[in-house]
Amino acid sequence: MKRHYRAKTQITVNNCIILDDNKPDIEKIIRVTSCPSLAKVIVIDRKVIIAGQIDVKVEYAAYGPCNTQPVHLAVFKVPFAHFIKHCGARCGQDAKISLEIEFQRFQQANRRTITIFLLLRACVFELETAKCRIKAAVCEAEHITEDCNEPLHCPQPPLYDESHHQPCSCVSCDC
């Protein structure tokens, strides 16, 4: 069953990035590009948790007249994590997320440090019920043995597909 509630949030990322020791100092920032990517999406009751990183590429002019290579590129990965409130979200569902950069500002703090401020917009554009659920095992009195040397036996119920109420054929579920 697909649900199409549009839950949104904004995420701010305010951080400092520092050049590696093998890079020359910054004289002037020429261009900065950034691209967000999701690494993990977890759906719990009434919330969708997202985590990922923003790939930031800084093209800059190196400081000093003696540099043989005047333009350099530095690449950074800036992590983020946040949640989106969603009234229809339930544990075990799958969520599809759209993620985009709404605003970005980069400023040179000194010759080795750049401050970044990013505003991301995240939106749950599709929420789908997981296909398999594992039912809890129920131990009935007739399955319990009284012999102390024999291990306790409790049969596990089969996995069920909610849409057909038939045992499903999957071996394991990520539910």
pLDDT tens digits, one per residue of 98-125: 999 999 999 999 999 999 999 999 999 8
Residue 127 burial (CB count, 10 A): 21
pLDDT tens for 66-87 read: 667 789 999 999 999 999 999 8
Instruction: Pick out the chain residues at pLDDT < 70.
Output: 1-5, 66-67, 130-175
Q: Which of 119, 118, 122 is nearest to 86 (CA)?
A: 122
Q: Based on the number of CB atoms within 10 Å of its own CB, is 26 exposed (0-12), middle (13-18) or buried (19 or more)? A: buried
Q: What is the reported pLDDT for 47?
A: 93
The pTM of this model reads: 0.66
Q: What is the reported pLDDT for 67?
A: 61
The secondary structure element, H or E, covering residue 10 is strand 7-18
Q: What is the reported pLDDT for 66?
A: 65
Q: What is the reported pLDDT for 101?
A: 95
Q: How far apart are the C-alpha atoms of 128 and 163, rounded to whole Å?
A: 13
